[in-house]
Every structure is written in structure tokens, then in C-alpha cells.
């Protein structure tokens, strides 16, 4: 399993790109993979091929009507681990002694 933090957005479409981000979030939702959205991107957990397929579908979705799209992807592979999307945060919360802001 991998965790992949991704951020895709068009260039040259103005300051507000929330509508484009929402189109990608729908693709992530439809994938059935576990995910978390945050202020600077979306983190998805799944097998590498599945995650990369989601990234590709998001890119294709935006390039349908955007001439330039920036795509940032950060991948963390850890053999033998799954459910890390939430358990990593839980381990940090245990160490600091309280729930973290979301």
C-alpha cells in the first residue's frame, strides 16, 4: 500500500480553482479508496497502480478543458502497512497526549 498526497490545479484559470479541485475529488471518491482532503491537497491510500490510475484520471479530467495543469504527487510506500491514512495521525496524537486539529 502507498499513501499519495496529490494536488492538481489548472494554471491560467484565475485565482479560484475550487471547481477544478472538486472535479478531481469526485474522481477520488468514485475510486472507492480511502482519502482525506486538506487545504493544500488530497491524500489517497491504496495500491500503487490504483493510486496512479486516480492521478491519471484527474489529470485527464482537467486537461479536457485546461491548456496547462500542475500536478504534484508525493508517494510514501511502507511494506506491510495499511490503514496508515488514519493510524499515523493517531500515533502522533498518542505522543502529544491530545487530538490534533483537523
pTM to 2 decimal places: 0.88
Every domain of the chain and the residues it spans: 2-96
pLDDT along the chain (102 residues), means of 10: 96 93 97 95 96 98 96 94 87 91 80
CATH class of 2-96: alpha beta
Q: Which of 75, 74, 77, 4 is nearest to 35 (CA)?
A: 4
Residue 88 is predicted with a pLDDT of 85
Amino acid at each position: 500500500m502507498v499513501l499519495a498526497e496529490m494536488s492538481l490545479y489548472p494554471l491560467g484559470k484565475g485565482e479560484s480553482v475550487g471547481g477544478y479541485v472538486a472535479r478531481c475529488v469526485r474522481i477520488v471518491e468514485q475510486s472507492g479508496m480511502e482519502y482525506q482532503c486538506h487545504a493544500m491537497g488530497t491524500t489517497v491510500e491504496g495500491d500503487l497502480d490504483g493510486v496512479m490510475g486516480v492521478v491519471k484520471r484527474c489529470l485527464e479530467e482537467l486537461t479536457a478543458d485546461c491548456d496547462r495543469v500542475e500536478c504534484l504527487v508525493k508517494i510514501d510506500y511502507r511494506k506491510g502497512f495499511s490503514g496508515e491514512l488514519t493510524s499515523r495521525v493517531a500515533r502522533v496524537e498518542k505522543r502529544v497526549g491530545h487530538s490534533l486539529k483537523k
